[in-house]
Chain A
């Protein structure tokens, strides 16, 4: 894997900080990669890839912990639970959810176990708890944007924080897809009546495989199936958050 910069010369690399001065950027063309960032041999420079992995880990952790947090507040309290509030990202990783980051630039944590019958309004509160994930991602994207803003005082380039911003916004937006274990999907499945346990189990099993499959097909055939509808929203949100 080549380290970017050693071969590339100034001309090819957008002069990020200079563009920033004119407040034009970070229009997405200002970053050296496209948003959403999807790892590809062309953009697999070492620094970019490391930033991507770290951003994905942050996005996964914050998504899972936020769900746990809101579920706890709304009534699903589990003192001493092992799967909550440890903020240890390694325990939140799921295989397909992490793989999906490499395939499509977004992913999901291990499904957070939430028990709707413990809530006063099971369906509504389950939605709130699940939505906490993407909301937290947007929140983190905002913190990253603040750091982008702050770091220019240190005369530094905020590319790493741009990556955190982009990956989190991508994760939040793609979680609108109605397939479990994504936010809306897992809410829909969670609201199904208890009679259809088998259907629930089947959906929860197929969901992640289907998601990875869809985006693998997208990559192999270069035909947009879902992403053409979601990517404009991602780009617009990134621009809004960064204020350009």
Chain B
């Protein structure tokens, strides 16, 4: 199948994957429930003495303290991380349908349990434990399945489309959750979302399909930059970790994650404060609320698309250099409090962060082949976790020097090293080649 078109099934797999990720992104909407579950404020203070007493408008439910509200969310994040790599293995071994449907059902049952139990323990078991398991298993399934259908010249866009679902979930799920809570109550909102997730993941999950054995994705046109650096061999995870290129990819991931998080964590609160002075934004609060999610999702698709045209190295370089420039200017932007500049800075950070999440699966596929992609990408994804160091380090630097200036400079340096690493890293040669 030279230079032809991919079959229709390939695109069905891509969009089914996006739909599944749109469900799994419910993690982002936790704050909607927190708003109703947390003890109310009075004169600027939380009325902690109300914790454990019934919530008047939702029979059966009791108020939770702020600490309790964050427990199901935190557990969900950790269990997600715990199950993501085994989830990749389920995908590699049993196929994407099993992974996606199992994940979706765990999440759906978790939501229903959380809703019907009407208790803190139920939220921990349902949302925290079962939800986390579902997200971990489900998240690992769609991206590798979709990538198997496409040649290297389309991988960027495809990975971007699939993972944009997870980022884009923030856009629809908060308003939907809000609407459901108001119209059907807390229990109703969890149960309805659970049924909705079960339906979507079963339908979309059964549309996920691997290509037939022996399928060869359409070859790239000779002009494609992305196609030149692609392996023909499928690497096993234990072989992959012996190559320095694997660590290069982990570093690339660390770089994009840390810079994105550092800017978002520090500029977003300032942006929100600055926006309070603008009447238009006050009246249209949804702009601010959905801005990050939108740019994050678009960054995933956009970066993926242009990485297919100009090559992954060039796409990564552009994203990171713009971001590094932004980091160098950050102290000045924050000091100026200029709304437009803040919007721009936060936008660049979200775009770049999202871009990393769509570039890295494609890189992993280019370097180490599609066969063990679920597992291999899971290992590269450890870099995403390591990227969280920087926000903490930023805090330490702030304590030591009294400002974040050096944290921003250091972060920019990590990005620039990332660019250098990415220019140097060419795909490894397998012993059989």
Binding site for B on A (CB under 8 A): 3, 5-7, 9-10, 13, 15-17, 46-47, 50-51, 54-55, 57-58, 61, 69, 72-73, 77-81, 84-89, 139, 142-143, 145-151, 153-161, 164, 243
Contact = CB atoms under 8 A, between A and B. Distances in A.
Interface of B: 31, 34, 48-49, 51-52, 62, 64-71, 73-75, 77-79, 81-82, 85-86, 89, 119-121, 124, 128-129, 236-239, 241-242, 261, 265, 268-269, 375, 378-379, 385-386, 388-393, 395-396, 399
A146 B86 contact: no
A17 B238 contact: no
A146 B378 CA distance: 21
A6 B395 CA distance: 34
26 contacts: A3-B119, A3-B120, A5-B65, A6-B52, A15-B48, A47-B68, A47-B120, A47-B124, A54-B78, A58-B78, A61-B82, A84-B238, A85-B375, A86-B89, A88-B89, A89-B82, A147-B74, A147-B77, A147-B388, A149-B395, A150-B392, A156-B34, A157-B70, A158-B74, A160-B78, A243-B399
B238 A86 contact: no
Given A47-B120, A146-B393, 18 more contacts: A5-B64, A5-B67, A10-B65, A13-B67, A50-B124, A58-B82, A77-B238, A81-B238, A84-B238, A85-B379, A150-B265, A150-B388, A151-B70, A154-B31, A156-B70, A157-B71, A159-B67, A243-B399
A86 B89 CA distance: 7
Nearest to A55: B78
Nearest to B75: A160
Contacts of B34: 156
Contact of B392 (A69, A88, A89, A149): A149
A137 to B, nearest CB: 14
Contacts, number: 150
Contacts of A16: 67
A54 B389 CA distance: 21
B136 to A, nearest CB: 11
Given A87-B85, A164-B78, A156 B73 contact: yes
B49 A10 contact: yes
Contacts of B393: 146
A147 B69 CA distance: 16
A25 to B, nearest CB: 13
A88 B86 contact: yes
A160 B386 CA distance: 18
Nearest to A61: B82
A13 B65 contact: yes
Tell me the interface secondary structure of chain B in the complex: helix
B348 to A, nearest CB: 19
A50 B129 contact: yes
Contacts of A80: 236, 238
Nearest to A48: B71
Contacts of A15: 48
A5 B119 CA distance: 11
Contacts of A151: 70, 74
Contacts of A79: 236, 238-239
